[in-house]
Amino acid sequence: MLRIIFSAAMLFLVSGAMLLLLDRKVYQVSRRAREQKISSLLGWFNLSAALILLGIFLWKH
């Protein structure tokens, strides 16, 4: 169970970082404001979920 929580946290962390660093910049360059905002929102959501899951992992470990 702990491996699943840790794996999910790492997936959320990587996908959130990619959304914030790559997708947001692509949408900014192509001047798509709505997509940039949604990408930013989803990126922060993924990073928040990763932090929550990492907290659960450390608490259970």
| pLDDT, tens only, 17-47 | 999 999 999 999 999 999 999 999 999 999 9
Segments forming the whole domain that contains residue 38: 2-60
Provide the pLDDT for residue 32.
96
Give the pTM. Answer: 0.89
Answer yes or no: is pLDDT of 61 > 90: no
Answer yes or no: is pLDDT of 48 > 90: yes
Tell me the two tokens of residue 25.
């910049």
Between CA 33 and CA 9 the distance in angstroms is 28
Tell me the two tokens of residue 32.
């798509």
Q: Is 38 exposed, middle or buried (CB count within 10 Å of its CB: 0-12, 13-18, 19+)?
A: middle
Report the phi/psi class of residue 11: left, alpha or beta, with left for phi > 0 and alpha for psi in -120 to 50. Answer: alpha
Count of the separate structural domains present in the chain: 1
